[in-house]
Chain A
Amino acid sequence: MSDKHLRRIAIDPISRVEGHGKITLLMDQDNHVQEARLHIVEFRGFEKFIQGRPFTEVPYFVQRLCGICPVSHHLAAAKAVDQLVGVDPESVTPTTHKLRRLLHFGQVLQSHALHFFHLSSPDLLFGFSSNLAHRNIVGVLEDYPDIGLKGVKLRKYGQQVIAAIAGKRIHGAATVPGGMNKSLSDEERKALLVDIKDIIQWSQDAVDLNEQIHLQHPENHGFATLTTSYLGMVGKQGEMELYHGGLRARHADGSAIIDQFDYTNYTQLLREEVRNWSYMKFPYLTSLGRENGWYRVGPLARVNLADFITTPKAEAARQKFRAFAHGGYVHDTLAYHWARMIEMLHCAEAIEELLHDPDIMGTDLVVKGTARREGIGVIEAPRGTLFHHYQIDEQGLIEKANLIVSTTSNNQAMNESVRSVANQYLEGQEITEGLLNHLEVAIRAYDPCLSCATHALGKMPLQVELHNAQGDVISSLSKSANGTIGCTFD
């Protein structure tokens, strides 16, 4: 069916998803949602902007791409820049490797805490249909002061780890080509150890809470749920690995697509489809083709894909998670939240381990090699696999850059989840507040990294328009929501 026969519903922007988003629902004449289009304008222009700039700037420049996971971009770019100075991921010094891991765990913990407590816990604790005015972090702090405060402290702790290593809690300076610019002092290490037991306990509490919520709400299980394949990084033994490892992709039934794949060959693994209505591309696994090759990334993918988790508490939580699906993969979209908290627990435990490792105070920080023209850095960012790929000219200026951010990898999945929810909740030709809320909840599960430049979260009015086949607006609805999170610029 061509676009002409489809009515469009536009929802713009989405409250409490970072930044702007807009949804178009294309309906056929029987009022079925045939296709959902989530319009995301992220990262437009970045690849062009960086052209002609010295490569040393890249890890710093990319920190501006996201207000929530700047460190993930920083580290992915740093891994690529290492290669530009001839240093492979395995050749960095143990001190550099461990400091970067620690930094990364701090970032993931911080981002996951922010996402769950500030953005998602209101939906999950109060229910999707509850009063929007109360369904926010302020409401959580009022009704569940204990949970709300733990969330705030967890987030702060993640920032404290970041600040200790990068000098600032946001947009700091940590990496240099082939290494890091400093290690941790014993005082810094000890300061971080002070609260770590609480941090682990609160992360455990968050896992338990999410587990309970998911188990006690069977109506959540099918919500926006998709049976998909998954892509993510794993360690050499198949363990969960967020900083450096091989790529693993598996079908929905757990059968293998690829394993221990060297990410510097990612262009063989993935292709990116361009669709005329979207700035954001649609990546797919080349071997499965355009139609069937889409996949999901992020916490749900990683907890499904991992054979085990190296830290004991998170591993116990992972086993319960998989037991929920009788040992198979958990496909419930809302289980992203549960998986996210398992990862947060893993980060907390891994931070403790690293803080007891004397290598993080080492002085051997930088390795040098022979310059190369191409570098590819991949990392598991809070929201999923993140690819940074750079080519430089013979003078060291960026010639070509390609980024695949996690939100891009989840692009198709988010559209599919939105379509599923729309079909479930759309009645007639009217956009109800209920529908809006449900669409938001579906998108939020993926924790998409939308425009980080505009952080007036929840302060954005929600605009809904119903277009007929000719593009006329036949009904519209707008409302504003309340949120409390701001962005820190430096």
Chain B
Amino acid sequence: MNQLLENTLTIDGQVVPFSAGQTIMDAALAAGIYIPHLCHKPELKPHGSCKLCTVDVDGRSMSACTFPASQGMQVANNTPALTEVRKTLVQMLFVEGNHLCPTCDKTGDCTLQALGYHLGMLDGHFPPFYPRREVDASHPDLILDRDRCIMCGLCVRASQQIDGKNVFALSGRGAQNHVIVNSPSGKLGDSDLNKDDLAAHICPVGAILPKNHGHEVPIGRRTFDLHTVAESDIATFNLHKTEHHDD
């Protein structure tokens, strides 16, 4: 094999370089290739829970955000079959919560919604659960609306790994799974979450939002009015990389 192809893999036939320790997701994003994902952020340790990043590695289904890249690996990403799988996953996330996009303050900035569009989702397909989970409005600046939580764990990791706190946790299994607040009363207002923490901003959906605000960015100027979810995630990755090089 050619020396130049050392430390490369292919994604949908495209040769992509990687460095030791990188996951398929890291290598893809660095090469400007978009693999759909919800529970992954470059600055946080991967969690591997949403399965949106499922790719085909030499014939087997793997989570790109956790699976290490290796020499000569053949990855299939953008295929009709995988799009179908991912669409089903997104549809399930939609029906498991109350995602009434038009009334949600996150509309236009929501990654779940953007992924729905990206994957060509036209409806919920499955019967909605209409869960009634607790809304926690006890914090002066933030609101936690569990009806919209997709259990991605990003707030948990952001709080632990970046903010140096431990505000959130995921608890329960299956349909009982929900995000809890580590405070004496279990309320956000009682926790040490600050509105400037990463955990207060990282939620990909409208489950953690600033209080008493909403719809301040006009239609046409919201994140996903201006960029596709692919563009925006690749840009986030590059931004993160630059920031790291700076410090």
**A binding-site residues for B, Cβ under 8 Å:** 52-57, 60-61, 63-64, 85, 166-168, 171-173, 175-177, 181-182, 395-397, 490
Judge whether B215 and A171 touch: CB under 8 Å: no
Interface residues of B in 127-169 (CB under 8 A from A): 135, 137-138, 143, 145
Assess whether B105 is interfacial by the CB under 8 Å rule.
yes
What CA separation (Å) do A334 and B166 show in the bound complex?
67
Given contacts A167-B219, A396-B212, 10 further A-B contacts (CB under 8 A): A54-B143, A54-B214, A56-B212, A57-B104, A60-B104, A175-B215, A176-B215, A176-B216, A181-B217, A397-B135
What CA separation (Å) do A63 and B216 show in the bound complex?
17
Judge whether B218 and A490 touch: CB under 8 Å: no
Assess whether B211 is interfacial by the CB under 8 Å rule.
yes
What CA separation (Å) do A52 and B134 show in the bound complex?
9
Judge whether B103 and A60 touch: CB under 8 Å: yes
Please name all residues of chain A whose beta carbon is closer than 8 Å to the beta carbon of B103 when the two chains form the complex: 57, 60-61, 63-64
Judge whether A181 and B218 touch: CB under 8 Å: yes
When the two chains form the complex, which single residue of B135, B212, B216, B219 contacts A166, counting CB atoms closer than 8 Å? Answer: B219
Assess whether B174 is interfacial by the CB under 8 Å rule.
no
Minimum CB distance partner of B220 in chain A: A167
Please name all residues of chain A whose beta carbon is closer than 8 Å to the beta carbon of B244 when the two chains form the complex: none
Judge whether B220 and A64 touch: CB under 8 Å: no
When the two chains form the complex, which single residue of A85, A168, A181, A396 contacts B215, counting CB atoms closer than 8 Å? Answer: A181
Assess whether B184 is interfacial by the CB under 8 Å rule.
no
Of the listed residues A56, A61, A176, the one surrounded by the most CB atoms of chain B closer than 10 A to its CB is: A56
Of the listed residues B105, B145, B212, B213, the one surrounded by the most CB atoms of chain A closer than 10 A to its CB is: B212
Judge whether B137 and A54 touch: CB under 8 Å: yes
Distance in angstroms from A50 CB to nearest chain B CB is 10
Judge whether B218 and A57 touch: CB under 8 Å: no
Distance in angstroms from B123 CB to nearest chain A CB is 11
Judge whether B137 and A396 touch: CB under 8 Å: yes
**B binding-site residues for A, Cβ under 8 Å:** 100, 102-105, 107, 135, 137-138, 143, 145, 211-220
When the two chains form the complex, which single residue of B135, B212, B213, B220 contacts A52, counting CB atoms closer than 8 Å? Answer: B135
Please name all residues of chain A whose beta carbon is closer than 8 Å to the beta carbon of B214 when the two chains form the complex: 54, 56-57, 60, 176-177
Please name all residues of chain A whose beta carbon is closer than 8 Å to the beta carbon of B213 when the two chains form the complex: 56, 176-177
Please name all residues of chain B whose beta carbon is closer than 8 Å to the beta carbon of A52 when the two chains form the complex: 135
Distance in angstroms from B201 CB to nearest chain A CB is 18
Judge whether B138 and A171 touch: CB under 8 Å: no
What CA separation (Å) do A233 and B163 show in the bound complex?
53
Distance in angstroms from A463 CB to nearest chain B CB is 29
Please name all residues of chain B whose beta carbon is closer than 8 Å to the beta carbon of A396 when the two chains form the complex: 137, 143, 211-212
Distance in angstroms from B133 CB to nearest chain A CB is 11
What CA separation (Å) do A348 and B211 show in the bound complex?
38
Distance in angstroms from A487 CB to nearest chain B CB is 14
Please name all residues of chain B whose beta carbon is closer than 8 Å to the beta carbon of A173 when the two chains form the complex: 107, 215, 218-219
Judge whether B138 and A64 touch: CB under 8 Å: no
Please name all residues of chain A whose beta carbon is closer than 8 Å to the beta carbon of B102 when the two chains form the complex: 60, 63-64, 171, 490
Interchain Cβ contacts under 8 Å between A and B, 7 examples = A57-B104, A60-B102, A61-B103, A176-B215, A177-B214, A181-B217, A396-B211
What CA separation (Å) do A53 and B102 show in the bound complex?
14
Judge whether A57 and B105 touch: CB under 8 Å: yes
List the 3 shortest-distance A-B pairs measured between CB atoms, nearest first: A167-B219, A395-B137, A56-B214
What CA separation (Å) do A181 and B108 show in the bound complex?
14
Minimum CB distance partner of B102 in chain A: A171
Minimum CB distance partner of A368 in chain B: B212
What CA separation (Å) do A196 and B100 show in the bound complex?
36
Judge whether A168 and B219 touch: CB under 8 Å: yes
What CA separation (Å) do A166 and B215 show in the bound complex?
11
What CA separation (Å) do A331 and B27 show in the bound complex?
75
Judge whether A85 and B212 touch: CB under 8 Å: yes
Known contacts A56-B214, A64-B102; A397/B219 CB under 8 A: no
What CA separation (Å) do A191 and B215 show in the bound complex?
25
